Chains A and B, each alone.
Chain A
Amino acid sequence: MSNVVEVNQLTKAYGSVTAVDKVTFSIEENKIYGLLGRNGAGKTTIMHMITAQLFQTSGELKVFGEAPYENKHVLSKICFIKESQKYPNAFTIKNVLDVAATLFPNWDQQYAESLMEDFRLPSNRRIKRLSRGMLSSVGIIIGLASRAPLTIFDEPYLGLDAVARSLFYDRLIEDYAEHPRTIVLSTHLIDEVNKILEHVLVIDNGKLLINEDADVLRGSAMTVTGLATKVEAFTAGKTVIDKTPLGGFHSAIVMGKLEAKDINQAEELELELSPVSLQQLIVHLTGGKSKDKVVGF
């Protein structure tokens, strides 16, 4: 499978602050990626470099096999929907979509119009008079109707209500199924999007913490609860990412797939095992203060 984005030791420094620190990953064609991490982790900086809006300090970056800067051939294949994207105030929604139609070679006008109805957008209203949620809907419609081979959504739903977000996920899956393309979703709403994602990249403190298939991550950690001494015995030699004592009881989160013998051992020790969701897992992995964590899967 060919790679749409290849990033090697990519670094972006602002003076003494390293926003993105030697990040290496690739994005394969026609998959849906989740770019996750806390505020200020470096997600948006990475997206800005991929879309040629920022120069890297060092490292290599290839998009569709070429350097993206002032490269029309590459940039015409990218649609980047930013958080709080600005549009000219005097434009109507229709004007904005007309401009978008000229920018993206795969633009589908009919689809854009049906999305406008779905999101209940008044096409003749001026940008100045739109609510925050409506502006976000405009971005989502452009992102979907552009059908760009690489479509990036950076927190696209500021001010969007739950109905509109759910509509976005529905339309995204439907349209992706019919017109496969590479999609990158950057978001904090991990619980909402995680079922859509095929691959997950987690950035923490400018470093790449996780680069893994989403289904491998699901069920890759377990919570073990029971008597403190027994939890200690069970977790010996295993990777423990979180521990919470509660009186004589302990609750620990253990990484890695449990074998049948582990499950038997847990039962003998009268420990309770419960799965950890993707969101919980990421919260635990990126929640601490530690700057150099190593995670192996």
Chain B
Amino acid sequence: MKSLIDDNRPIFMQIAEKIEDDIINGGLLEESQVPSTNQFASFYQINPATAAKGVNLLVDQGILYKKRGIGMFVVKGAREKLMEKRKDQFFEEYVSKMIREAKKLGITSEELMEMIKKGER
């Protein structure tokens, strides 16, 4: 089940993120067609203009492209591009935060490594 749109952040960004997620987890394959803005609008009960803004954001970033008269498609190589972007975000959002919190609690790098290994099991 997909988490629904919240109204704490701009909705067009959330739509763009949902499309990105689908590309990363294989729900949307490269060169396949993306749902139309009207489909997004009725699925998430959002304004079609806002949905279009989210889709266009990914067009500007070279993740989607438009086939005239047919619709939007996923660019070849989009998945790898997104994975790189998400790895940078992962460092910013999770790793830096984790290290800061670890320092606060007096956890050493060695202990932190141990914990990560433990978590992987």
Is B108 part of the binding interface, using a Cβ–Cβ cutoff of 8 Å?
no
Task: Name the distance in Å between A279's Cβ and chain B's nearest Cβ.
Answer: 8
Interface centre among B8, B9, B38, B100 (most CB of A within 10 A): B8
Please name 30 pairs of A and B residues whose Cβ atoms are closer than 8 Å in the assembled complex, sorted by A. A32-B49, A169-B45, A173-B41, A173-B46, A173-B48, A174-B42, A177-B37, A177-B38, A177-B41, A177-B42, A177-B48, A178-B38, A195-B7, A195-B11, A195-B44, A195-B45, A195-B47, A195-B50, A197-B47, A198-B49, A198-B50, A215-B50, A215-B53, A216-B10, A218-B7, A219-B8, A267-B97, A267-B100, A277-B7, A278-B7
Is B5 part of the binding interface, using a Cβ–Cβ cutoff of 8 Å?
yes
Q: Complex: how many Å from CA A288 to CA B113?
A: 51
Interface digits, B24-67 against A, CB 8 Å rule (1 contact, 0 not)? 00000000000001100110111111100100000000000000
Chain B residue contacts of A234, Cβ below 8 A:
none
Is B73 part of the binding interface, using a Cβ–Cβ cutoff of 8 Å?
no
Task: Name the distance in Å between B17's Cβ and chain A's nearest Cβ.
Answer: 13
Chain A residue contacts of B9, Cβ below 8 A:
218-219, 275
The 9 A-B pairs at the shortest CB distance, nearest first, are namely: A275-B8, A177-B38, A215-B10, A195-B46, A219-B9, A177-B48, A198-B47, A277-B7, A198-B49
Binding site for B on A (CB under 8 A): 31-32, 169-170, 173-174, 176-178, 191, 194-198, 214-216, 218-219, 267, 275-279
CB neighbors of A among B72-108 (8 A) = 97, 100
Task: Name the distance in Å between A278's Cβ and chain B's nearest Cβ.
Answer: 5
Q: Complex: how many Å from CA A198 to CA B41?
A: 12
Known: A169-B45, A170-B42, A170-B45. 5 other contacts (CB 8 A): A194-B7, A195-B5, A195-B47, A197-B47, A218-B8
Chain A residue contacts of B5, Cβ below 8 A:
195
A-B CB pair tally, cutoff 8 Å: 65
Binding site for A on B (CB under 8 A): 5-12, 37-38, 41-42, 44-50, 53, 97, 100
Let me know if B46 and A277 touch, CB within 8 A.
no
Chain A residue contacts of B41, Cβ below 8 A:
173, 177
- A192 to chain B: closest residue by CB: B45
Q: Complex: how many Å from CA A198 to CA B5?
A: 15
Which of B11, B37, B48 interacts with A218 by CB under 8 Å? B11
Interface centre among B12, B44, B47, B48 (most CB of A within 10 A): B47
Let me know if A196 and B49 touch, CB within 8 A.
no
Chain B residue contacts of A215, Cβ below 8 A:
10-12, 50, 53
Chain B residue contacts of A198, Cβ below 8 A:
47, 49-50
Chain B residue contacts of A176, Cβ below 8 A:
48
Task: Name the distance in Å between A194's Cβ and chain B's nearest Cβ.
Answer: 5
